[in-house]
């Protein structure tokens, strides 16, 4: 048998293997929230995947508490949710700047930014929106485990998906910040022009607040609202979150 024939067979075998792997991965889906754990081991309550078999979590001697001691802070996830135009990204940037000025290590996971890379293969259909939040939740958990204060700024319209992200973190380490801004205010801002496109019928079946529902949180740790007809400055909103972090001991190890 010629060398070229062997190479063709090897290539075909590899292509078949890659296809099988892709088919398995495409079926990987949602976070399992049936675990009764209180979050004492965030790895064991993580995503259960149908395609992941015969694997065991490998534990290292350097743990979260050691990394927190090194950084003089406690890792957590600040999950900022709300309608498009509610001020999520504005708060996230003000908050990371304020914490940085206090010598705290943070990282912002912005919903749009993540879709430029990790989630660039996802659309805005309901199934992909679930997967989008699942991936962001898993990445945020890794940041928290590293001792970093992770700030996730993402619409995350479905309550069950936000609750699933909460369930994979240690108890208390998921801090939900609800940007409770009226739809008409968000639509008047329309910083990206998306409401205008949705109202014109150019974004169909998937735009939150117009033709796709937003399910408000039921028990957020922090709620940001307008004061009368006025929105608080970003620095004031950030101070409210920082006060919560201070009170809960996240800004010292």
* Dihedral sign from CA coordinates of 107, 110, 113, 114: positive
Sign of CA dihedral 4, 8, 9, 10: positive
Angle at 231 between CA 227 and CA 234, to 5 degrees: 125
For residue 233, give the DSSP letter: P
CA distance linking residue 87 with residue 39, whole number of Å = 30
d(CA 193, CA 19): 39
Active site residue 37: no
Give start and end residues of each alpha helix (H) in 146-233.
Answer: 159-167, 183-189, 194-199
The Cα–Cα gap between 168 and 46 comes to 5
Q: Indicate which residue of 46, 84, 153, 156 is catalytic.
A: 156
User: Catalytic site residues?
Assistant: 156
């Amino acid at each position: 048998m010629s060398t070229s024939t062997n190479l063709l067979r090897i290539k075909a075998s590899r292509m078949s293997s890659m296809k099988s792997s892709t088919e398995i991965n495409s079926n990987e889906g949602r976070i399992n929230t049936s675990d009764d754990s209180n979050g004492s081991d965030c790895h064991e309550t993580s995503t259960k995947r149908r395609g992941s078999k015969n694997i065991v979590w490998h534990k290292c001697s350097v743990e979260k508490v050691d990394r927190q001691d090194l950084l003089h802070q406690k890792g957590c996830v600040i999950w900022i949710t709300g309608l498009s135009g509610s001020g999520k990204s504005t708060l996230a940037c003000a908050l990371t700047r304020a914490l940085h000025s206090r010598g705290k290590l943070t990282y912002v996971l912005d919903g749009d930014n993540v879709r430029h890379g990790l989630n660039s293969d996802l659309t805005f259909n309901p199934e992909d929106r679930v997967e989008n939040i699942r991936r962001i939740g898993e990445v945020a958990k890794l940041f928290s485990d590293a001792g970093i204060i992770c700030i996730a700024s993402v619409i995350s319209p479905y309550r069950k998906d936000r609750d699933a992200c909460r369930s994979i973190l240690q108890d208390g380490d998921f801090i939900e910040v609800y940007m409770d801004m009226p739809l008409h205010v968000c639509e008047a801002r329309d910083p990206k022009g998306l409401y205008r496109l949705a109202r014109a019928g150019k974004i169909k079946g998937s735009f939150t607040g117009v033709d796709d529902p937003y399910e408000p949180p039921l028990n957020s740790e922090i709620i940001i609202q307008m004061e009368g007809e006025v929105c608080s400055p970003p620095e004031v909103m950030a101070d409210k979150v920082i006060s919560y972090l201070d009170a809960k001991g996240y800004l010292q190890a």
